[in-house]
Amino acid sequence: GAVVSQHPSRVICKSGTSVKIECRSLDFQATTMFWYRQFPKQSLMLMATSNEGSKATYEQGVEKDKFLINHASLTLSTLTVTSAHPEDSSFYICSARHEGGAEVETQYFGPGTRLLVL
Amino acid sequence: AQSVAQPEDQVNVAEGNPLTVKCTYSVSGNPYLFWYVQYPNRGLQFLLKYITGDNLVKGSYGFEAEFNKSQTSFHLKKPSALVSDSALYFCAVRHPGGKLIFGQGTELSVKP
């Protein structure tokens, strides 16, 4: 299967600071990437759809000014958590949608980023 | 609206026995269905998908799933479970806009 990386895998920051998480599709190009948040033992909650070259589409209830998404190239999307607070602590997972051949429509997921805000 | 349901929070199976993880769906139009597995503190790994074609789909690690239109189900199966199959399993359906709608997840525990 295709490979998606995420960096960093874990980050601890102070309340009020900003944190940037990178998501890269390593062996395919992705016009569309997705950002999810997951709480322990729960399902994934979609935060936003990241579109290369255009603005992200945010799900209802997700603050676009707090969770900044940039999809600057066909292999890189970034999520910046601005002015992070303890309630933003969570497991953030990205995915990239494959758009070619037999793998069309398949989303491949990164390994996740554990964010802890103190 | 597109949705999936995984009726079992947990499934317990003895190693070597067959396993089934259930998923039912509700969609308008033809469904695109997926199964993913998640190990602790990791992202999701793609197992298999149904978009069109044969109702029996074979995927990674010996898993397969059967698309049943009349029962609106897409159960995940494996003939002989391994202890290493213990993980969290998610069923998902594609929304017309392209995003995935996930079920709540099923914790599979395989005991030696």
Q: What is the pLDDT of residues A46-86, one digit of tens each?
A: 999 998 888 999 999 999 999 999 998 999 999 999 999 99
Put simply, the answer to whether A6 touches B43 (Cβ < 8 Å) is yes
Mean pLDDT for B74-93 is: 97
Put simply, the answer to whether B99 touches A95 (Cβ < 8 Å) is no
Put simply, the answer to whether B99 touches A43 (Cβ < 8 Å) is no
Mean pLDDT for B8-29 is: 96
Give the residue from chain A lying closest to B41, CA to CA.
A112
Q: Are strands B64-68 and B73-78 parallel, antiparallel or unpaired?
A: antiparallel
Q: What percent of chain B has pLDDT over 90?
A: 84
Whether the CA torsion B47, A103, B1, B101 is positive or negative: it is positive
| A6, A105, A111: residue with CB nearest B94 | A105
Mean pLDDT for B48-76 is: 95
Res A100 pLDDT > 70: yes
Give the residue from chain B lying closest to A99, CA to CA.
B98
Cβ-proximal residues to B53 (8 Å cutoff; 6+ apart), any chain: none
Mean pLDDT for B6-26 is: 97
Give the residue from chain B lying closest to A90, CA to CA.
B41
Res A101 pLDDT > 80: no
